[in-house]
Amino acid sequence: MSLVTLTINNKQVEVEEGTTILEAAKLLNIKIPTLCHLNLHDLKMVNQTASCRVCVVEVEGRRNLAPACATPVFNGMVVKTNTIKAIKARRTVVELLLSDHPKDCLTCEKNTNCELQALAADLGVSNIRYEGKISTYPIDNSSKSIVRNLDKCILCRRCETVCNKVQTVNVLSGVDRGFETVVAPAFGLPMTETSCTFCGQCVAVCPTAALTEVNNVPEVWRALKNKDKYVVVQTAPAVRAALGEEFGYEPGTDVTGKMVSALRSLGFDKVFDTDFAADVTIMEEASEFVHRLQHGGKLPILTSCCPGWVKFFEHQFSDLLDVPSTCKSPQEMFGAITKSYYAEKMGIDPKNIMIVSVMPCLAKKYEAARPEFGKDGVQDVDVVISTRELAKMLKEAGIDFNSLEDENFDNPLGESTGASVIFGTTGGVLEAALRTAYEWLTNSTLENVDFEQVRGIEGIREATVKINDLDVKVAVAHGLGNARKLLEKIRSGEANYHAIEIMACPGGCIGGGGQPYLKGDIETLKARASAIYGEDKKKTIRKSHENPEVIKFYKEYMGEPYGEKAHELLHTHYVKRQKM
């Protein structure tokens, strides 16, 4: 591709032809304000419609201002980003947006995290000169995961981009015209009546509070005050790699010990680790894989830990419902184990145990409410909060997170291996399963447990692992758009694999919809993944089937992995759903 030279604010820069003014300015460290622009994890899937016009600049030789995010450069172009004309135009755009926006900033869910609020401050907007009709719409709180408040929508179309182009779920789009335009499901359907997977990526990219998570914090506070309830908390592996960001730590800082200490300070009766259940998941999933491999079962086996991904294939690939593993997710396995094995061990009525999950994922809120994840009217998991919600609780409680001493999880459901920790990043579930399946199939010790070939940040990765005389072909995908590509190849017979791992969110759980806001930053994703692999390396035991508490659990209570009792307690079924 040919190169072109342009000048921005009297500074020359050479870039590839087709580069936008905004991208060129970044190379010169020149900041141009944006709102609708979104470069999601270097996918370069941005809103090229330039819907907000906040990034307008002056281009020599043109009468009208040009949107920097959608204007390609040309050789000899001269750009001014900081002229009075451009600044006034940006300020006018923001004032017009604010004229049709609620004024409840102090009590808004995105207060201090709102990009519109920050932009207004940066542009010095201290009053709104325009008055007129204000849009009002009913709030859609039909789901357990996501709340839609169209009163706060600024029509940036970011959610539409991520839902349609990145995740390929195609639930959100522009509806109606002019002042009546909204971004919503077709026919104004509530989220629960659509094919929404509740992955939460729309929430992650929304610049305002038009899309937020269902707030479960009050429910957790009530539980902690209830003396009749034995309140247990479990924490997913990805949480520890991101929670510190809410308290000023650099991305990729592992705060496991402080997190445990903080949860104990909040008053939970027991602080357990979802990683214990992740090790159990490998016992079941690896057993299922080996069983399919040795008995001519359906291949490839697909991992089933991600509820967003599960709902995606229930809607989009219901003809392949016999392909995914029947294992429950680690969150649900933990709930089932706590309300059976642990309850019996401690002599507690399961109905008096309340399980709170801290998850990086908004779909986990939906998953916990699925009717198949419970027994005798008792759900496996009672309430789910996100990483962001946990940070909110700690701040509400006045806990000085930075000064906390490291503490360990409670036992027995706090014991885990390195294999379970890596569940938090893309490729981790498959790698953990391979560590165990390899030893079970070869009856030999796996000396090097690092399957580097399934690691990385590429959307789709393929590898071949030699196990005995068999070349085991595996694939990893993160992001539902990449999952679609893989599944369509399987459906058509174009590709053949033995095992596939799929996660709905970019980077896997580390990029979940409930994590501290990323704003498309791929370096933060990489840092979080590095923290996950770092904890894995520090573990004395790095294979799930060697976890002593898991071995004890099977010996004392469960029996054989993938056996009759395991199927009753730890496995599930899937539902054929319509595309809506």
Of 59, 82, 81, the residue nearest 72 (C-alpha): 59
Q: 3-state SS string over 281-311? A: HHHHHHHHHHHHHHCCCCCCEECCCCHHHHH
How far is it, in rounded angstroms, from Cα 562 to Cα 558? 10
φ, ψ dihedrals at 7, nearest 5°: -125, 125
DSSP 425-440: STTHHHHHHHHHHHHH
- Which of 23, 58, 367, 439 is the catalytic position? 367
What residues have CB less than 8 Å from 182, skipping those under 6 apart? 137, 150, 153, 155, 174, 175, 176
- 275-302 as b/e: b if 16+ CB within 10 A: bbbbbbbbbbbbbbbbebbeeeeebbbb
168 in helix, strand or coil? coil
Q: Is 501 marked active-site?
A: no
Distance of CA 52 to the CA centre of its chain: 26
Q: Is 305 marked active-site?
A: yes
Q: Is 564 marked active-site?
A: no
- Which of 509, 526, 535, 544 is the catalytic position? 509
In the chain, how many H helices and how many E strands?
Answer: 19, 19
Q: Is 549 marked active-site?
A: no
Quote the radius of gyration of the chain (alpha carbons, Å): 25
Q: Is 488 marked active-site?
A: no
Q: Is 489 marked active-site?
A: no
233 contacts 393 by C-beta, under 8 angstroms:
no
Residue with tokens 């059976």: 340
- Which of 250, 372, 396, 488 is the catalytic position? 372
102 contacts 73 by C-beta, under 8 angstroms:
no
412 contacts 225 by C-beta, under 8 angstroms:
no
Q: Is 367 marked active-site?
A: yes
- Which of 145, 325, 386, 420 is the catalytic position? 325
Q: What are the CA-CA distances from residue 510 to residues 395, 504, 517 (Å)? A: 22, 11, 11
418 contacts 545 by C-beta, under 8 angstroms:
no
How far is it, in rounded angstroms, from Cα 36 to Cα 292? 47
- Which of 270, 364, 526, 543 is the catalytic position? 364
- Which of 115, 245, 285, 535 is the catalytic position? 285
- Which of 52, 202, 305, 505 is the catalytic position? 305
Side chain identity, residue 117? Q
Q: Is 69 marked active-site?
A: no
What are the residue numbers of the active site?
285, 288, 305, 325, 364, 367, 372, 509
